[in-house]
A and B are shown apart, each in its own frame.
Chain A
């Protein structure tokens, strides 16, 4: 089974260029037109997959705390 590795500096540079300067007719341009913030994708790609998961866990925990506070107040 293949492994999902963090992007190498070269891969990251290429991905950033593609995301920040979308080619006309590309999927990236289409996503941009749909309102997807491509700069956020660049920030995510700078992280390792493990860091992305950790960030998600922190955000999810924070969200659940807010939901808990809201539930207690209602």
Chain B
């Protein structure tokens, strides 16, 4: 996954997004690997236009797409395969809510030569708990350790 290329592309296209998932965990010190970029995006019309235009050069195509072909405006999760790797687009995050809710639980991190928004540690832990998959709950133990280790 070309995280740098993807993040820079979205940032430079002025897409409103928050990095969530495994890359966010990595920013905070997690050792778990991932090869998928997860972002939560704003569903405003202008942002949807910017998002689709930014990803278009990388030929996004759905992974395991259900019948009915939902669009970015009315579908909550899109799992895409692109020329630069797998990108998951989420309009809502379980346990937190929509983009605006997610943004309230985000901080700025300087990475890939950009200043990007990502989950704060409590928000990330909350989302992982809410996701509730075995892998997520295992991640929570590590993230709680990082939180405890970093407390004043």
Interface size on B, residues (CB 8 A): 36
Cβ of A56 to closest chain B Cβ, rounded Å: 5
- CB pair B145–A27 under 8 Å, yes or no, is yes
Which residues of the other chain, B, contact A19 by a CB distance below 8 angstroms?
145, 149
0 or 1 for each of A1-29: is its CB under 8 Å from B? (1 = yes): 11110010001001110110000001110
Distance, CA A52 to CA B26, complexed state (A)? 6
Give the distance to chain A from B116, nearest Cβ to Cβ, in Å: 10
Measured CB to CB, the nearest residue on chain B to A20 is B149
Q: Is the CB of B29 within 8 A of A45?
A: yes
Instruction: Please state if A31 and B145 are interface contacts (CB–CB under 8 Å).
Output: yes
Are B109 and A27 in touch, CB under 8 angstroms?
Answer: no
Q: Does B2 contact A (CB under 8 A)?
A: yes
Spot the interface stretch: B42-50, B62-70, B88-96, B136-144: B136-144
Question: What residue in chain A is nearest B27 (Cβ atoms)?
Answer: A49
Which listed residue, B3, B138, B145, touches A56 by the CB 8 Å rule?
B3
A53 and B3: CB pair below 8 A? yes
CA distance A63 to B118 in the complex (A): 24
Contact B27 A64 (CB under 8 A): no
Could you tell me if B107 and A34 are in contact, using CB atoms closer than 8 angstroms?
A: no
Contact A41 B107 (CB under 8 A): no
Please, which residue of chain B has its CB at the minimum distance from the CB of A53? Answer: B111
Q: Are B31 and A37 in contact (CB under 8 A)?
A: yes
Q: Is B31 a contact partner of A40 (Cβ separation < 8 A)?
A: yes
Residue of A nearest to B142 (CB): A36
Binding site for B on A (CB under 8 A): 1-4, 7, 11, 14-16, 18-19, 26-28, 30-31, 34, 36-38, 40-41, 43-45, 49-50, 52-57, 59-61, 63-64
30 contacts between A and B (CB under 8 A): A1-B106, A3-B108, A4-B27, A4-B120, A16-B149, A19-B145, A19-B149, A27-B144, A30-B141, A34-B138, A34-B141, A40-B31, A41-B29, A41-B31, A41-B146, A49-B28, A50-B110, A50-B111, A53-B111, A56-B3, A56-B33, A56-B34, A57-B1, A59-B33, A60-B3, A60-B34, A60-B35, A61-B1, A63-B35, A64-B1
